[in-house]
Structure 1
Amino acid sequence: MSAILSADDLNDFISPSVACIKPIEALPTANEASTTLETEVILGGLEPPSVSADPSNSPSKISLTDCLACSGCVTSAEAVLVSLQSHNEVLGMLDSAPALRIDGPDSAGQFQVLGLDNPGAKLFVASVSPQSRASLAAACGGNTTEAQAGRMIERLLCQPEGLAGGGKFNNGFTWVADTNTAREACLVLGADEVRQGSSTSSKPVLTSSCPGWVCYAEKTHPHVLPHLSRVKSPQALMGTLLKTTLSKKLGISPDRIWHLAVMPCLDKKLEASREELTDSVWAGDGQSGRGVRDVDCVITSKEILMLTESRGIDFFNLPKTQLPPPTTFPDSKLYDFLFPRRRVKTPVKDAGTSGGNLHFILEDVVSRNPGSKLQTVSGRNADVVEYNVISSSGEPIFKAAKYYGFRNIQNIVRKLKPAKASKMPGGRPFGAARKAAAQSKSLDFSYVEIMACPGGCTNGGGQIKVTDPVVAERKGWSSDPGPQEQKDWLAEVDEAYFSMSDSETDGDGSASSNGDGAMEVIDGVCLSYVRDTLAHWSETTGIDLARLAHTSYREVISDVGKDASETQRVIQLAGKIGGGW
């Protein structure tokens, strides 16, 4: 996990009325004779080591949504909570009932959903990130490209040689989408947010696609929340797009659609559980709340291999060849957007492996200022870089930066912290104001790309690691890999990430033109085409685009560990269980 822990944070065992404020029924009462006041909370279906015969001491079950929605007792317990979204949940859902099937279109262009008479039947859809494909491509070896690994994942999820060839009902996924398409939409929305000057985000705008960073900001540095971009992450946007469109076009409720996301990051499981990313926002009154999740389950790159192992499938022997076209999507324009027949754009290494938000913004600024140049200033390490767009006359136009890894994030967070007013009459502000020069220097950034993982998303916590047996076996290593092997492995994953440029890829690169007839293309993304597609999506669903594509954040306040005696008890408990992690 990406959270920075302290003694105040560690509390895997919750005592009643002290830590958890959720109104949990059957929360056991404290045993007055006990001196430890320990109450074990069993999380979402995990079996307790032993079950007491005393009903008053039965384990409480708290869901991941409960914990993410409360006032913030979740810290080290997140390591357990994220395990509730796993490959076992995927298999359990696939084996719960026969899947819904799509029939059509008929002569009138209408689709029919078969199997609705079974209340447990679901329509299975999935989305896969390029970082996960790169991780699995590197694990395959033999110069396997990101596109080839993507085909292997798709075969696993929807073809008879994969999950659809086994299980109780031979269920597979009807559609497997590439989150790169949602990423392109997020890039354009982010550029528009900076162009127009967001009414909800303060300067500088901080990226919000990294859930580890967002969770950290909400819990520890709420003063940065007004700066966070309101644009959803590609995972979240893809979930909203699939559930809104399919429920509208097929005439089924969102809870009949089950969306799986394959991601490089464990914190993406936490993002999927946010109440801000449910149908209560886009189909309700616009307020976050208990609703149907846009993303029902997230599994990581490593868990793809666990999924295949559970079904006795050899992932590395799955065919890498081209698949047949996917089942017709009930909206032709969104079908072309989600499943392009040919992808003509080549990824730019300067954009990095985390989606390229910053690079896209910079290229957009340069394109709107003819004659301008981009200057790069290296920071204290490879994960800190500043960028300046300079006009043809030498004047600064735009300043941005990237900060990766929590140690570097601390610097930007401190510089954004507001000064504390002095309580003395006529006294000067103190705290951050004493470093006025440093603060002034940081505040002239217009945009900052922040990622929790050093090196970016290809180094996510859910990626296949150099220390995993599958890597050692395929590499033929006889001893534990050292730092150099770790560095070489990450370089292989990055190389696979940029290998999507091979033209075996699929895509006509659909593009439209702007008002004067010239295509406005940045990094291979046609802005007018994406905007037109988003407008069509909003019109089709009858929902305002801002409600579909934007999200919100909230300060998380916790009283856990604030009392000194509680802190000591938490340290005692953490020691008993090995330190929390």
Structure 2
Amino acid sequence: MSAILSADDLNDFISPGVACIKPIETLPAQKPEDSYNAYEVTTEDKVAASEPPPPAQISLTDCLACSGCVTSAEAVLVTLQSHTEVLTTLDIHPSLHPPWLAPNGINGEVNGTKYQSNGLSNGMLFVASVSSQTRASLAATFSVSEAQAGNMIAQLLTGPSGLKAGGMHGSDFTWVVDTNVVREACLVAAADEVATALSSEVSNAQSVPGLEGDVGTTPQKPILTSACPGWICYAEKTHPYVLPHLSRLKSPQALTGTLIKSVLSRRYNIAPSQIWHLAIMPCFDKKLEASRSELTSSAWLPNHDSSQIPIRDVDCVITARELLHLASARNISFSSLPRTPLPSSQRIPFPDPKLDAFLFPPTRRKNQDPLAGSSGGFLYHILQTYQGQYPASSISVSRGRNADVVEYSLVQNSQTIIKMARFYGFRNIQNLVRRLKPAKMSRLPGAKGGMSRRPGANGATGGEGVKEYAYVEVMACPGGCTNGGGQVKATEVDRVRASEGLNGVNGEVAVGKLGLKEQKEWLRRVDEAYFSASEEEESDKDGDGDYEMTDVDAVKLNGSGQHQDIVNGISRTYIHDVLSHWSDVTGVEMRRLLYTSYRKVESDVGKKKQSDVERVAGLASSIGGGW
């Protein structure tokens, strides 16, 4: 476990449960067969274990199956997914670089190119994905642009002066994927999901008991974002009645992992276990997401054998701060890494031309504008998609009770077409879920409607007001994902720079200033780096002839009067074409690739176990017997 993670670092922390233990089965000591007496009566105090029980070991998967804690506070106790695991894996497994021979001994051929053996049966294909919020945090820390921070990360992971310069095998990452690219696919899929859920055919559908969060069901209004794992963990463990409202769409991190492993294993004819995917994210809770049993090869691998151990789509998640520890452990000065991109001549093409053009476009994808927020812009993209159907409409934005509650309305001729809202931070989330809780039946005689009243059931943001929203973007961290628990903190900036030999750069925030004003100023600088990421001018077509993303303002309605194909620079036609191609390549239906499921988490952790004597006595009394 990385030493930088503690409860003080988690801004989405509520409180742990009354107990956090993994039960250990203790069996009575076995007697030798020659001295065994089948008629011997043993008293309870003589039954003891033959030796002390082994120490309990807890993993992220155990945490997810336990309702003893809520939010990422439980991540304090786990020992996996850190920069140490990254270095250990790189030292154990040599990097696989095409060409090579599949482990089953069959020569592979991809797009006319034959791949021969290099004798690395223990080799691993390393792939990394990097979030834009992580780049923004490092950009603010080292006073560089967001694009330069991304280049420095790529140089560390796959450049000649990075990880490959050391270690036992000189292993490095073959590809570094920008999650902004896959996020565009998530935004289009999210808009499609909302449109389907709000259609007249399913708007009045009721959830089936036991299948409220199933991958095959359609979410109910208001649809709640599912990209934040801290929020999902909290909902599953404490408020399962919101499961019918959760979006079934995978997060950009999860979708990137599914795409990488499903395509590479298919194209190169290697097992998913030989592909190791590292995600660099702003939040510790993303480690929880990577450990979900739903996000493994069992969900998409054709003809999956239930006896096989499922392989996670994301093997390890580290944060911006842990990335700096990764560089430091290899004696690499992160600030000294080249700020320019790697030469294109050194880049290994992804084993599919269309997906290669999608994952590694000729120009960088831009982040969302400030109105979309710092958490991917799901709500704003969906709202803009609806706006394309109403050319004369406008988007109205109003602040709620605080800066982390914002209401969005699409208005045309003084008529509200659709309403959405943004709820960031657990204080606001608790307010949201309380208003979504089903009303209880009143036991008072003569109660109107048979329903009990709940506090705050009236008003613009309560009760029916919340249910009027078509979509709600929910994030656990106040201020959004740029304020994730794994980002470089204001109090750490000078210390990080001092370790890199960059003392007193531009008079930045000093160590020790813990005031709210200084923290807000630092978050403003990170947001500035995030929103300042720009996109270069692009041609209408890219190198392989596919449609290229263009500015939404330059695209008008088509001749049939349908809504714009381009929404905020993202071509819906192009994204649908890529997703359909992905499904064809892997032979897996698109639903299994794009969507996941959620479940109510129940546990008896912390509850007193009933002894056999109490259980038998209770059973006897229930049938009228006794001792």
Question: Scaled by the length of structure 2, what TM-score is found?
Answer: 0.78
Which residue type is aligned with residue 492 of structure 1?
R
Any idea what the Cα deviations from partners look like across 1:399-451, whole Å, max 9, x if unmatched? 00000001111121111110112346664211539836641121110000011
How much does 1:248 deviate?
Answer: 0.5
1:153–1:440 CA distance, 2 compared to 1 (3 A): same
How much does 1:64 deviate?
Answer: 2.3
How much does 1:508 deviate?
Answer: 7.1
Any idea what the Cα deviations from partners look like across 1:98-156, whole Å, max 9, x if unmatched? 222212997952352645652x3211000000000010111111xx1111100100010
Counterpart in the other structure of 2:112? 109
Which deviates more from structure 2 when the two are superposed, residues 58-67 or residues 451-460? 58-67
Counterpart in the other structure of 1:42? none
Asked if residue 97 in structure 1 is aligned to residue 93 in structure 2, the reply is yes
Q: Would you say the 8 A contact 2:82–2:316 is kept in 1?
A: yes
1:249–1:320 CA distance, 2 compared to 1 (3 A): same
How much does 1:78 deviate?
Answer: 2.0
1:535 aligns with one of 580, 583, 602: 580
Q: Would you say the 8 A contact 1:27–1:59 is kept in 2?
A: no
Counterpart in the other structure of 1:307? 326
Which residue type is aligned with residue 72 of structure 1?
S
1:111–1:275 CA distance, 2 compared to 1 (3 A): farther
Percent identity between the two aligned chains: 49
2:340 aligns with one of 311, 321, 334: 321
SS at match of 1:103: coil
1:479–1:239 CA distance, 2 compared to 1 (3 A): closer
1:482 aligns with one of 515, 528, 539: 515
2:386 aligns with one of 365, 382, 397: 365
d(CA) in 2 for partners of 1:282, 1:106: 23
Larger Rg: 2
Which deviates more from structure 2 when the two are superposed, residues 519-528 or residues 105-114? 105-114
1:27–1:400 CA distance, 2 compared to 1 (3 A): farther
Counterpart in the other structure of 1:234? 252
Q: Would you say the 8 A contact 2:379–2:472 is kept in 1?
A: yes
How much does 1:452 deviate?
Answer: 0.4
Counterpart in the other structure of 1:511? 547
2:57 aligns with one of 52, 57, 61: 61
d(CA) in 2 for partners of 1:255, 1:129: 23
Counterpart in the other structure of 2:427? 407
d(CA) in 2 for partners of 1:524, 1:508: 14
Any idea what the Cα deviations from partners look like across 1:336-367, whole Å, max 9, x if unmatched? 00000113656412111100001101111111
Q: Would you say the 8 A contact 1:82–1:269 is kept in 2?
A: no
1:320–1:62 CA distance, 2 compared to 1 (3 A): same
1:506–1:183 CA distance, 2 compared to 1 (3 A): farther
Any idea what the Cα deviations from partners look like across 1:153-174, whole Å, max 9, x if unmatched? 0010011200011000000000
SS at match of 1:376: strand
Q: Map of 1:63-142 to 2, 5 A cutoff?
A: 63-68=59-64, 70-75=65-70, 78-103=74-99, 109-110=112-113, 112=115, 114-115=117-118, 117-118=120-121, 120-141=122-143
Asked if residue 206 in structure 1 is aligned to residue 230 in structure 2, the reply is no
Which residue type is aligned with residue 501 of structure 1?
S
Asked if residue 151 in structure 1 is aligned to residue 151 in structure 2, the reply is yes
SS at match of 1:435: coil
Equivalenced residue count is 532
Q: Would you say the 8 A contact 1:100–1:116 is kept in 2?
A: no
Q: Would you say the 8 A contact 2:96–2:120 is kept in 1?
A: no
Counterpart in the other structure of 1:550? 595
d(CA) in 2 for partners of 1:563, 1:2: 32
Q: Would you say the 8 A contact 2:254–2:314 is kept in 1?
A: yes
Q: Would you say the 8 A contact 1:282–1:548 is kept in 2?
A: yes
Counterpart in the other structure of 1:355? 376
Asked if residue 496 in structure 1 is aligned to residue 529 in structure 2, the reply is yes
d(CA) in 2 for partners of 1:430, 1:221: 19
SS at match of 2:421: strand
How much does 1:197 deviate?
Answer: 1.7
| Structure 2 spans left out of the alignment, 5+ residues | 1-9, 31-43, 101-107, 199-216, 550-556, 611-627
1:451–1:107 CA distance, 2 compared to 1 (3 A): closer
Which residue type is aligned with residue 470 of structure 2?
S
Q: Would you say the 8 A contact 2:21–2:605 is kept in 1?
A: no
d(CA) in 1 for partners of 2:327, 2:117: 28
Counterpart in the other structure of 2:33? none
Q: Would you say the 8 A contact 2:61–2:292 is kept in 1?
A: yes
1:512–1:172 CA distance, 2 compared to 1 (3 A): closer
Q: Would you say the 8 A contact 1:224–1:413 is kept in 2?
A: yes
d(CA) in 2 for partners of 1:332, 1:360: 28
d(CA) in 1 for partners of 2:182, 2:480: 19
1:511–1:81 CA distance, 2 compared to 1 (3 A): farther
The CA RMSD measured in Å over matched residues stands at 3.3
d(CA) in 1 for partners of 2:337, 2:606: 50
Which deviates more from structure 2 when the two are superposed, residues 529-538 or residues 75-84? 75-84
Counterpart in the other structure of 1:524? 569
1:359–1:286 CA distance, 2 compared to 1 (3 A): farther
Any idea what the Cα deviations from partners look like across 1:199-248, whole Å, max 9, x if unmatched? 52000111010111110001111111110111100000000000000000
2:408 aligns with one of 366, 369, 387: 387
1:114–1:266 CA distance, 2 compared to 1 (3 A): farther
Q: Would you say the 8 A contact 1:415–1:442 is kept in 2?
A: yes
Which deviates more from structure 2 when the two are superposed, residues 509-518 or residues 147-156? 509-518
Which residue type is aligned with residue 379 of structure 1?
G
Q: Would you say the 8 A contact 1:344–1:508 is kept in 2?
A: no
How much does 1:476 deviate?
Answer: 7.6
Which residue type is aligned with residue 110 of structure 1?
T
Q: Would you say the 8 A contact 1:205–1:229 is kept in 2?
A: yes
Question: Scaled by the length of structure 1, what TM-score is found?
Answer: 0.84
Any idea what the Cα deviations from partners look like across 1:550-578, whole Å, max 9, x if unmatched? 0110111133345699xxxxxxxxxxxxx
Q: Would you say the 8 A contact 2:163–2:172 is kept in 1?
A: yes
1:508–1:161 CA distance, 2 compared to 1 (3 A): farther
